[in-house]
């Protein structure tokens, strides 16, 4: 093993392993250190397993509505949660093998263990040497030319909700449950809480979401949040906004949790899920041995992900940017290109697509009405899925597409979608922003009929008051 590689990466999650592959493609020698499994949170505890569960919930919803489509079946459909979990795990395992194969194919050295960054020492005159403690207890001291920190994040909780992963669970613990609870409270109405609330409700769990702020999905536009709440409440999910959890008392004999929220309101449920965000994994990797700056939100970096030690970079959930897998991936690519002294532009975080894989789905890219710069004069185009043939055919016509256009420059500023396949539809709009297309160019482009994408075409044209079917 080369103990002085061109690049050493701490963390083999989405950002870390993609950066490793990109660096290997550049001809760099790369060592990747991962303490658990390649793929990290996204593959094993986040994006992939939750979306697999959501797909099962979606199928069950379709089965329950089959009679609306003229499909009659006298037999009752039953949720087999064990099989749902087995299918989820099979998908994760297949993708995990794929990532392992990519690491081997690109001749990247994988070390299974943890790394601690060292300060200046006899091994290196500058910070950045790393002590790698392998799972068998052996230690290796490596002196890379460049170091990339991609150690990810972990679920946060609240003082009133100490996690035990049996009755009070994080998103990690939720993925390991063997049986569905009858009643459940989810604390936090952001993306994670909303997705879990949606899938549990679809599978027959009585769900209550408690959110401290005045609305669910606070990163989305208020109109989207309003429609989202209306739709999930119509499905039976109870929503408590402007609410704060005061305490949670676990009664193991009765196998229940009594939750006190606000001043005197109580709920008794089987389990509580805490979905109040994530915190960076940076407290045990040796940052204090360096000149790197950090705080509770993560490591401080510049536009190219360099820390105060310019040969040490950091990406993904361990820095204070959007905690999304596709963001970590792009950050890793930019960091590697910068290390290789290639020209690369900083990432425009406003134009990163954002997606919530609930029912209904929500997606957005660019600005929303609530965060538009004050100097922008904007024309808003909107088109409801109730006016879209494909949405009606699918029996899923709630929601809308909203497009923002700069009236002075004719630039596309942002798009919000709530409705069927929003997380797929957003790709066209994300590409349009990247290619600097105007809403008129989106509207002029031919869209297949019937298709859900016609709703985005109509919304784009509506920014000029030229929508055909509105």
Tens-digit pLDDT profile for residues 35-52: 999 999 999 999 999 999
Is position 218 within any domain?
yes
pLDDT band at 117 (very low <50, low <70, confident <90, very high): very high
Q: What CA–CA distances, in Å, run from 435 to 131, 354, 424, 441, 444?
A: 44, 18, 18, 11, 15
Buried b (16+ CB within 10 A) or exposed e, 398-434: bbbbbbbbbeeeebbbbbbbbbbbbbebbebbbebbe
Residue 188: phi, psi to the nearest 5? 120, 120
Is position 470 within any domain?
no
Segment 153-180, tens digit of pLDDT = 999 999 999 999 999 999 999 999 999 9
Same domain, 11 and 148: yes
Same domain, 286 and 145: yes
- Give me the mean pLDDT over the 109-132 stretch: 92
Q: Is 90 exceeded by the pLDDT of residue 234?
A: yes
Is position 68 within any domain?
yes
CATH at 398? 3.30.390.30
Domain finish residue from 349, 378, 404: 349
Across-strand partners of 127? 129
Q: Which two tokens mark 178?
A: 């063997």
Give dist(CA 124, CA 248) in Å, integer.
50
pLDDT value for 121? 86
pLDDT value for 76? 86
3-state secondary structure of 197: helix
Same domain, 167 and 240: yes
pLDDT value for 373? 93
pLDDT value for 73? 82
pLDDT value for 75? 83
Same domain, 267 and 165: yes
Q: What domain range includes position 171? A: 157-276
pLDDT band at 125 (very low <50, low <70, confident <90, very high): confident
Segment 370-409, tens digit of pLDDT = 999 999 999 999 999 999 999 999 999 999 999 999 999 9
Q: CB of 226 within 8 A of CB of 400?
A: no
Domain finish residue from 349, 380, 405: 349
Same domain, 150 and 285: yes
Is position 237 within any domain?
yes
Q: What CA–CA distances, in Å, run from 319 to 9, 282, 306, 366, 443?
A: 15, 9, 11, 21, 38
**Total domain count, the chain:** 3
For 356-413, give the DSSP string.
Answer: E-SSS-EEEEE--GGG--TT--EEEEEEEGGG-HHHHHHT----EEEEEEETTT--EE
CATH at 253? 3.50.50.60
Is position 354 within any domain?
no
Segment 195-222, tens digit of pLDDT = 999 999 999 999 999 999 999 999 999 9
Q: Find the catalytic residue in 421, 447, 449, 469.
A: 449
Domain finish residue from 318, 349, 380: 349
Active site residue 449: yes
Q: Is 90 exceeded by the pLDDT of residue 421?
A: yes
Q: Is 90 exceeded by the pLDDT of residue 61?
A: yes
Same domain, 70 and 58: yes
Number of residues assigned to the chain: 470
Stated pTM of the model: 0.95
Is position 226 within any domain?
yes
Buried b (16+ CB within 10 A) or exposed e, 332-355: bbbbbbbbbeeeeeebeeebbbbb
pLDDT value for 74? 80
pLDDT value for 4? 95
Same domain, 161 and 150: no
pLDDT value for 135? 92
Give dist(CA 194, CA 210) in Å, integer.
10
Same domain, 103 and 248: no
């Amino acid at each position: 093993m080369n103990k002085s590689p061109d690049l050493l990466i701490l963390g083999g999650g989405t950002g870390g392993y993609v950066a490793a592959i990109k660096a290997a493609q550049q001809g760099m020698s790369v060592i990747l250190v991962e303490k658990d499994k390649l793929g990290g949170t996204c593959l094993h505890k986040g994006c992939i397993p939750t979306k697999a569960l959501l797909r099962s919930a979606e199928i069950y919803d379709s089965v329950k509505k089959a009679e609306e489509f003229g499909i009659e079946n006298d037999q009752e459909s039953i949720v087999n949660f064990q099989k749902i979990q087995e299918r989820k795990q099979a998908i994760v395992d297949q993708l995990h093998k794929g990532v392992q194969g990519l690491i081997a194919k690109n001749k990247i050295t994988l070390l299974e263990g943890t790394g601690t960054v060292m300060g200046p020492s006899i091994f290196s005159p500058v910070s950045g040497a790393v002590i790698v403690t392998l799972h068998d207890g052996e230690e290796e001291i490596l002196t890379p030319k460049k170091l990339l920190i991609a150690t990810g994040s972990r679920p946060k909780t609240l003082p009133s909700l100490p996690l035990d992963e049996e009755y009070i669970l994080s998103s990690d613990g939720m993925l390991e449950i063997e049986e569905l609870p009858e009643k459940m409270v989810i604390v936090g109405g952001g993306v994670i809480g909303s997705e879990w609330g949606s899938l549990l409700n679809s599978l027959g769990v009585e769900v209550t979401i408690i959110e401290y702020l005045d609305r669910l999905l606070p990163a989305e536009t208020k109109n989207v949040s309003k429609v989202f709440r209306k739709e999930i409440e119509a499905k039976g999910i109870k929503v408590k906004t402007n609410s704060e959890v005061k305490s949670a008392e676990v009664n193991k004999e009765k196998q229940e949790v009594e939750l006190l929220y606000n001043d005197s309101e109580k709920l008794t449920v089987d389990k509580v899920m805490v979905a109040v965000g994530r915190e960076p994994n940076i407290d045990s990797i040796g940052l204090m041995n360096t000149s790197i700056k950090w705080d509770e939100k993560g490591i401080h970096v510049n536009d190219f992900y360099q820390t105060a030690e310019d040969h040490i970079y950091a990406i993904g959930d361990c820095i204070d940017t959007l905690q999304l897998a596709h963001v970590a991936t792009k950050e890793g690519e930019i960091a590697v290109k910068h290390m290789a002294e290639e020209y690369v532009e900083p990432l425009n975080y406003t134009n990163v697509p954002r997606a919530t894989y609930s029912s209904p789905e929500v997606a957005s890219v660019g600005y929303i009405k609530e965060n538009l710069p004050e100097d922008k004069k904007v024309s808003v185009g909107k088109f409801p899925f109730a006016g879209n043939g494909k949405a009606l055919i699918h029996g899923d016509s709630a929601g809308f597409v909203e497009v923002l256009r700069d009236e002075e420059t004719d630039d596309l500023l942002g798009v919000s979608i709530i409705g069927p396949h929003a997380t797929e539809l957003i790709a066209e709009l994300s590409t349009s922003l990247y290619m600097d297309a105007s809403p008129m160019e989106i509207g002029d482009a031919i869209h297949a009929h019937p298709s859900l994408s016609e709703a985005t075409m109509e919304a784009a044209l509506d920014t000029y008051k030229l929508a055909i079917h509105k």
